[in-house]
Structure 1
Amino acid sequence: MPNKPNRWGYKMFLLAGGESGICYDFILYAGKSDKQEYGFCTNIVLDLCATVPRAINHKVYCDNYFTTIRLQVELKKLGIYTVGTVKPNRLTDLTMKNKKELSSEDRGAMDHRIAEVDGVTLCVTRWYDNNVVNCLSTLHDCEPLYPAERWSSQQKKTYTNCKTECYKNL
């Protein structure tokens, strides 16, 4: 992490429960390892998920630092669903609407694609709110289920936005 004020030291990566917040596993990282099978971020998450029981519908949520296509494919092969925000540069060879096109459609505009990688179905969603958010998922489909409610700070009330919709599971 070259932009951190103190680039040297220890880093701790945790696997924690969503509702409970209980730490199920952790890795204390002190430097490079010899294992470079998939890349740093993917290897960290795969190591943390080594203790997660397989094929009983466990779900892992990641931020854009960890989410990669390779991670999602490997976890799905282990029977673990994944959802995460993803950096646009990790979605190579994927043609979607850009920020300018989505912003012209107003808040709540979205674009999505379904892709198959190594026999695993991935759903990529690009959604525009105040900025563009990219989401990669093996858990959720790209088909809308129902309109989502949003808070309008200008109107000071909740309203239903037909463009912003929630998704069902794959």
Structure 2
Amino acid sequence: MEGFKKELEDNILSFWIDKMQDNTYGGFYGQIDGNDVLHPEANKGAILNARILWTFSSAYRILKNPEYLAMARRAYDYIVTYFIDKEYGGVYWELDCKGNPVNTKKQTYVQGFMLYGFSEFYRATGEEQALNLAKDFFYLIEKCHDDILGGYLEAYTRDWKPIEDMRLSDKDANEKKQ
């Protein structure tokens, strides 16, 4: 078990702390390549940010390292400030490096990741706003339920009108399931 903890703290979490904090525009950088070259102008994705929120919240809750709480807080504050659509609810799929929405579609998939992140941040901090956001995202996802075929619809416009293209990216070959 000690080997896993060492790997987590010395390699995984430290990587995000040391290399991926965007001190110019806030939050975390959207891309570093396989050659360890940072791309500071890369877009920032909601899934990555939700995963960072969950990871550092969980790490703090279990390991009690205040640096992990600071990273969780950084992710939480960035998501709440930039990713949440204040007009229509939910989160945007993607922002530019400065925090401006560049892809405003709503994917149920990422709303679920936000639910996980907000829930874990609440568990780590006890902050009521995080609990309220977790509840909001739960109910938001429930509104995506497909009453005709069962399951949940995946892709929406910014104002929550269903769209046919459910792919998470151009590389995703997901087809509509019948």
TM, length-normalised to structure 1? 0.27
* Greater relative CO, 1 or 2 (CA 8 Å, sep 6+): 2
**Structure holding more helix per residue:** 2
Indicate the structure with greater strand content: 1
Give TM-score, length-normalised by structure 2.
0.26
